[in-house]
A = this chain, B = another copy of it.
Amino acid sequence: MKNAKLVGKSDLNKKSVVRLNERLSIGDRDILIIGGPCTVESQAQMDTIAQQLTGSIQALRGGVYKPRTSPYAFQGMGTNGIEILARTSRASGLPVVTEVMAIQQIETLANQVDMLQVGSRNMQNFDLLKALGEVDKPVLLKRGLAATIEEFIMAAEYIVSHGNPNVVLCERGIRSFDNYTRNVLDLGAVSALKHLTHLPVIVDPSHAAGRRELIGDLSRAAIACGADGLIIECHPEPDQSVSDAQQALSLPAMAQLVESLRPIATAVGRHLPLSPVQNPALMAA
């Protein structure tokens, strides 16, 4: 990776910390858990998640611009969705991350959310990457469906070399010949990325598995593998989700999953900051 001038590392101990807000960061000792629905559907949906998962998640995810295979599928709530995210964030204190699909969406999103996600299908949308290099917000860069580790790292280099050092990498599964799982979670890549770059690396087990019964195992594996955090899909009523219903966890399941991570984080010298006593969903479970 000799071309990874800015995101590569020669010193194995070098590690970047990306700040989400004044209190929260990714890449230090604390594990960051991001939770939320595939798609922002309503204010009530987002507020319920924020309230129920206090004590389990430190940041909210939710898509308002949705990359869908079909032009006839729901394309997201757009600006109305951004406002929902912003209101839930203000009320709960949780920072929010959402996907940006086009350069012209950047300005509005950057003003209202805490982290901009580049989806797998846009990992090599180089003009979008360059534009995000000029933004003063952290970027969550998801690995492309068939991107090599080198291509993934160099996509991050595009953003950083254009001025924005705050990039977090996200492994979310790659395409394979098998279709029992939606994708194949490549934890070898997570380990390799930790050796090759100083950027934080998180894992999305939801899109990798595509089946909710596998997400707990993969989440625990990711933390044991050294991931700096997780981004997991959950929903107040998973089967009613407008997209990716079969991979969304219920809120109590999400809270229980996060608790199961605590001793594993400790085993690898990391820390899960939130306390379960604060967690109404877990209490209800």
Contact = CB atoms under 8 A, between A and B. Distances in A.
Nearest to A70: B3
Contact of A225 (B68, B70, B221): B221
Nearest to A152: B178
Given A71-B157, A154-B69, A191 B176 contact: no
Contacts of A5: 72
A235 B272 CA distance: 36
A93 interface: no
A132 to B, nearest CB: 12
B189 A71 contact: no
13 contacts: A68-B126, A69-B124, A69-B151, A102-B128, A121-B124, A121-B125, A149-B181, A180-B189, A181-B188, A184-B189, A191-B209, A192-B214, A195-B214
Interface of A: 3, 5, 67-72, 101-104, 121-122, 124-128, 130, 144-146, 148-151, 154, 157-158, 161-162, 173-181, 184-192, 194-195, 208-209, 211, 213-214, 217-218, 220-226, 260, 263-264, 266-268
